[in-house]
Structure 1
Amino acid sequence: MRENVSALFVLLAAILWGTTGTAQTFLPDGVHPIVVAAMRIMIGGLFLLVIVLVQRKLDWTNWPVKNTLAAAVAMAFFQPFFFSAVKITGVAVGTVVTIGSAPVLAGLLEWLFFRKKPSLRWWGATALSVVGCLLLFAGKEAVVIEPAGVALALGGGFTFAAYTLVTKQLLAEKPPEAVVAVVFSLSALFLLPFLWIYDLSWITQMSGVMVSLHVGILATGLAYLLFSRGLTGVPASTAVTLSLAEPLTAALLGVFYVGEVLPPSAWAGVGLLFLGIVLLTLSPGARMSKAPHG
C-alpha cells in the first residue's frame, strides 16, 4: 500500500510539472526559458525554505553536505542543459532525448552504484513510455539532429537521473521537506547569474507575476516535495520513469486547454505512455532485484 501511495505522489509531481509549458504560454513574448527555469527554482526554494523554518524541521545536525551539494549541482545543471538542448536541436528532439534518456540512465546508475538490477517489467514499462514519448513529439516540427544539442539533452537526462539518485540517499537521513528546501535554495544560488544575463522586465507584469508564482510554488516547490515523498517508497529508477507523466500531462493540456490538435501517431504515444505508467503504478516496488556481486 505504501508503495502505491509513493507512486501516486510521484505521478502528482509529474502532473504539476506538466502544467509548466501551458503556464508559460501566458508569458509576454521574448521571455527566455532559462530565465523562467532560474526563477522557478528560486521561488520554489524560497517557498520550501519558509515552510521548513516555520515548522522547525530544519535540523543541521550531521547534515550530509556532499550529497546535498551533488543534488543541488545536478538540479542547477539540469535547467540550462535541457533548455539549451531544446534551443539548439528543437523541442521534439531535445525533449525526447532528455526525458527518454533519464529513466534508462537512472536504471543503469542504480545498477552500477547500488547493485539494484532493473527487472524485466521495469524495462518493458520504460520502453513503452519512451516510445510513447517519441510518438507524442513526432511530427510536431522538422527533426534536426544537432550533435551539440543531443549531447546537452543527454546531459539533462543524466543530471535529472543523478539528482533523483542522490536525493534518495539524502531522504534516508533527513525529512523530505528539509532536503528539498536546502537543495533548491542552493540550486537557486547557482542559477542566480542567469537573472543578470537576460531581461527581467516581464516579471513586473501581472501575467509574469502569476506565471512565476504558479511554476515556482506549485510546479516546482510542491511538485518536488511530492516527488521526494514518493522517492521514500519507490526505487529511483521507477520514480524517473513515472515522471514521464509530465509530457503526457503537457500534451493533454495542450489539447483540452490550449486547443492543439494531435495527429493519430501522437494519440498512440499517449496510449503507450499511459500503459507504461500503469504497469509501474500497479506494482512499483517490484521493479528492482539485487544484482549478484562479483
Structure 2
Amino acid sequence: MGAITARRARDRSGSVAGARSGHRLVGPAAVLLAAALWGTVGPAQVLAGPAADPGALGVGRLLVGGAVLALLGLRTGGWGVLLRRGVRGWVALAAIATGVYQVAFAHAVHELGAALGTAIALGVAPVATGLCARLWTGERIAVGWVLATAAAIAGSALVLVPAGPRSASTAGVLVALVAGACYGVYTVAAKRFLDAGAPALPATAASLLVAGVLLSPLLVAHPDGLLDGPTVLQIAWTGLAGTAAAYAAFVFGLRRSSASAVGTLSLAEPALAAVLGVAVLGERLAPVALLGMLLLLAALALVVLVPRRAAE
C-alpha cells in the first residue's frame, strides 16, 4: 500500500512538473510566432509598388494593425486603465518607440534590402532590450543570457551574410540601428505597462494607433503608389498579420517571459526573413548560412529551455 501511495505521489509530482514546463514554454512560443509573422514584413515590402514611400508603408501598417486590435479590445474592456498614472507614460513611450521603429525599419529595408536591414536592426534589438530592462525594471543580466544572445546575433549574422559582394549605405545602417534600439525600448515599455495591470489588447492598440496618428502626415506628404494593387495587398498583409496578429502574440508572450529573453527570441525573425528571401525573392544565401542557422537555433533553444532565475 505504501509503495502504491509513493508511486502515485511521484506520478503527481511528474505531472505537475510537466505542466509547469509546458506553461513555461507558452510565452516563448508566442514570441517566436510573433517573430515569424514579423519576418514576413521585409519581403512583403520588397514586393510592394516601387513608387510607395517606405515610411508611408509603415504608417499604413500601424493604422491597420492598431484599428484591428482596437476592435478586438472593445470586447475585453479596460480602456480606462490606460489613463492611470503608472500606465499612461509607458503606453506613450511604447507608441513613440513603435512609430520610430516602423519608419526606421522600413527605410532600412529600402536602403539595404530585406535580409541585411533585418539582420542589423534585429541584431541590435536584444542588446537594447537587455540594457533597457536592466535600467527600467532592475532585471538581472545573467551570464547565460549574454552568451545565448551573442551566439544568436552571430548566427543571424551568418544566416544573412550576402552570397555575393554588396555595399551597404551608411544611412541605411544608421536607420537600422535606430530601429533596433527602438525595438528594445518598446519591448521594455510594453513589459512595464503589462506589469502595471494594463489590458494587453487595448494598451497595444493604443500604442499602435497613437504612433500611426502622429506619423500620418507621411501619408499626405508621400501619397504616390499607396493605392496601387501590390501596395494595398502589402499594407493589408503587414497590417493584419505582420502587425495586429504579431503584436497580439508578442504581448501575450511578453507577459509570460522576461524582457531580455524576449529580445533574444526575436532573432528568429532574421532566419525566416532569409528563408522567404530565398523562396520568394530569389535571393541567395552564403555557404555559411547553414552554420548560422544551427547556431541561431541552438541559442534560441538555450533561452527557451534553460530556466531563468528570478530577477534581482
TM-score by length of 2: 0.83
Letter of the 2:119 partner, please give it: V
Shift of 1:92: 5.9
Query: 2:3: which partner in 1?
Result: none
CA contact (8 A) 1:119 1:288 kept: no
- Which stretch of the first structure deviates more once superposed, 193-202 or 232-241? 193-202
Q: Does 1:223 align with 2:243?
A: no
Q: Which of residues 212, 219, 243 is equivalent to 1:188?
A: 212
Could you tell me how far apart the structure 1 residues matched to 2:293 and 2:260 are?
Answer: 21
Query: 2:259: which partner in 1?
Result: 236
Could you tell me how far apart the structure 2 residues matched to 1:280 and 1:117 are?
Answer: 15
CA contact (8 A) 1:238 1:287 kept: no
Q: Does 1:8 align with 2:37?
A: no
Letter of the 1:19 partner, please give it: T
1:118-157 matches, cutoff 5 A: 118-140=141-163, 141-144=165-168, 146=170, 148-157=171-180
Q: Does 1:286 align with 2:302?
A: no
Shift of 1:135: 1.3
Shift of 1:288: 5.9
Q: Which of residues 71, 79, 85 is equivalent to 1:59?
A: 79
Q: The residue matched to 2:95 in structure 1 has which SS?
A: helix
Structure 1: which 5+ residue stretches go unaligned? Answer: none
Shift of 1:26: 3.6
Letter of the 1:168 partner, please give it: K
Could you tell me how far apart the structure 2 residues matched to 1:144 and 1:110 are?
Answer: 31
Q: The residue matched to 2:227 in structure 1 has which SS?
A: helix
Could you tell me how far apart the structure 2 residues matched to 1:260 and 1:92 are?
Answer: 9
CA 1:288 to 1:129, structure 2 compared with 1: closer, same or farther past 3 Å?
Answer: farther
Q: Does 1:28 align with 2:49?
A: yes
Could you tell me how far apart the structure 1 residues matched to 2:265 and 2:309 are?
Answer: 12
CA contact (8 A) 1:116 1:289 kept: yes
CA 1:287 to 1:244, structure 2 compared with 1: closer, same or farther past 3 Å?
Answer: farther
Could you tell me how far apart the structure 2 residues matched to 1:72 and 1:232 are?
Answer: 18
Shift of 1:56: 4.4
Could you tell me how far apart the structure 1 residues matched to 2:240 and 2:162 are?
Answer: 33
Q: Which of residues 126, 136, 161 is equivalent to 1:103?
A: 126
Query: 2:270: which partner in 1?
Result: 247
Q: The residue matched to 2:50 in structure 1 has which SS?
A: coil
CA 1:75 to 1:239, structure 2 compared with 1: closer, same or farther past 3 Å?
Answer: same
CA contact (8 A) 1:119 1:289 kept: no
Letter of the 2:308 partner, please give it: A
Could you tell me how far apart the structure 2 residues matched to 1:152 and 1:241 are?
Answer: 20
Structure 2: which 5+ residue stretches go unaligned? Answer: 1-21
CA contact (8 A) 2:128 2:184 kept: yes
Shift of 1:14: 0.5
CA contact (8 A) 1:235 1:287 kept: no
Shift of 1:287: 6.3
1:13-67 per-position Cα deviation (integer Å, ceiling 9, x unaligned): 00011112333344223323222211111100011111112x1424314532211
CA 1:176 to 1:244, structure 2 compared with 1: closer, same or farther past 3 Å?
Answer: same
Q: The residue matched to 2:140 in structure 1 has which SS?
A: strand
CA 1:108 to 1:139, structure 2 compared with 1: closer, same or farther past 3 Å?
Answer: same
TM-score by length of 1: 0.88
Shift of 1:89: 6.2
CA 1:22 to 1:236, structure 2 compared with 1: closer, same or farther past 3 Å?
Answer: same
CA 1:33 to 1:271, structure 2 compared with 1: closer, same or farther past 3 Å?
Answer: farther
Query: 2:14: which partner in 1?
Result: none
CA contact (8 A) 1:90 1:144 kept: no
CA contact (8 A) 2:42 2:114 kept: no
Equivalenced residue count is 286
Bigger Rg, which one: 2
Query: 1:113: which partner in 2?
Result: 136
Shift of 1:96: 3.1
Letter of the 2:95 partner, please give it: A
Shift of 1:199: 3.0
Could you tell me how far apart the structure 2 residues matched to 1:56 and 1:102 are?
Answer: 31
CA 1:202 to 1:241, structure 2 compared with 1: closer, same or farther past 3 Å?
Answer: same
RMSD: 2.3
